[in-house]
Amino acid sequence: MSLLEVTELRGGYGQNVVIDRCSMTISPGEVVVIMGGSGSGKSTFLKHLIGLKPPMSGLVSLSGEDLYSGTMVDRYRRLQQIGVAFQMGALVSSLSIFDNVALPLRETTNLPEDVIEVMVRLKLEFVELLDKQHLLPSELSGGMLKRSAVARALARDPKLVFMDEPSAGLDPVVASALDDLILKIREALGISVVVVTHELESAFKIASRIVVLDRGFIIFDGSVDQIRGSDNPRIQALINRTAEPMAFDPQEHYKRIMGTTEG
């Protein structure tokens, strides 16, 4: 059974549809990279997948259960099966790194404190932050913050972890170390990882499968080799980092600049 199944998802904000007819599955042990340019709908898609935004229509199933059915309490229970590492960490700013990683264990399990302490140290050691456990999130660098978020996402040993732009804003060395960490999560812990990114190099390094979102639609779902061989011009533009030429209409351009709707 797939860990996550998305069927004909349509979502957005208010009446504004941002993503439409999106379907995909995540199987155990996969690292799936969701790619797309700015404004392609990646972040909105992720919000729907991690329980932050009910879809307009379609289905998001976590281990065979509809994530959004029932009450909020049901949704919280289902969300306890996954881990999420946000782009900016989203750590509780008033808690130390240790307490942040311990938070999901303390709040959603009945484990004794000494067991929690060992589990937290294990996770912090895994992301190489054990010596920083007493610091507050504001005292960490960008890379450390992201690794702390990964440690918290792994705290409950979930089968599926989501990561939002893990390499964004990091220098190439730190970004590469984070890619290695993602591969280590899959290999050492057997956890499936869904990574949302627009960093090509990182995607090609870590992905066992790549899903490309473009203007709200999934236009590609396949392996790294398949995406390299794709003849879709939109995908080629994305992987070759070439801007799509836009037809220039002088009258339209004038209207935009002048802020008028009539010529």
Partner 1 sequence: MKQAIEATGAIALNLKSTLFYIVAGARHGQPVRLHSVMNQIIQSGLLAVPIVMLLCGIVGVMLAIQGMQTLAIFGAEQFINIGLAVSIPKEFSPLIVGIVVAGRSGSQITSRIGSMRLNGELDGLTVMGIAPHRFVDAPTLLGLMISVPLLVVVGNFSALLLSGLYASLYLGVSFKAFMMSLIDLIQVSDYMIGISKGFVFAILIGGIALGLGRAVEGGADDLGRKTTASVVACIAIIIAVDAFYSILEQV
* Binding positions for partner 1, rule: CB under 8 A: 50-52, 72-73, 76-80, 82-84, 86, 88-93, 103-104, 107-108, 152, 162
Residue 125 Cα to chain centre, angstroms: 23
Work out how close the CB of 183 gets to partner 1 at its nearest, in angstroms, rounded to a whole number. 23
Contact indicator for 3, 200 with CB cutoff of 8 Å:
no
- Paired tokens of 258: 């002048």
Work out how close the CB of 164 gets to partner 1 at its nearest, in angstroms, rounded to a whole number. 10
Nearer to partner 1, 33 or 161 (CB): 161
Work out how close the CB of 109 gets to partner 1 at its nearest, in angstroms, rounded to a whole number. 10
Work out how close the CB of 106 gets to partner 1 at its nearest, in angstroms, rounded to a whole number. 9
Nearer to partner 1, 41 or 104 (CB): 104
String of DSSP letters for 36-85: --TTSSHHHHHHHHTTSS--SEEEEEETTEETTSS-HHHHHHHHTTEEEE
Nearer to partner 1, 90 or 111 (CB): 90
Query: Under 8 Å CB-to-CB from 163, ≥6 apart: which residues?
Result: 84, 85, 150, 153, 182, 193, 194, 195, 196
Nearer to partner 1, 49 or 235 (CB): 49
Nearer to partner 1, 55 or 235 (CB): 55
CA 185 – CA 161 distance, rounded (Å): 9
Work out how close the CB of 204 gets to partner 1 at its nearest, in angstroms, rounded to a whole number. 27
Neighbours of 23 (CB within 10 A): 13
Question: Taking the CA of residue 219 as centre, how many other CA atoms within 13 Å lie in the half-sphere pointing to its CB?
Answer: 22
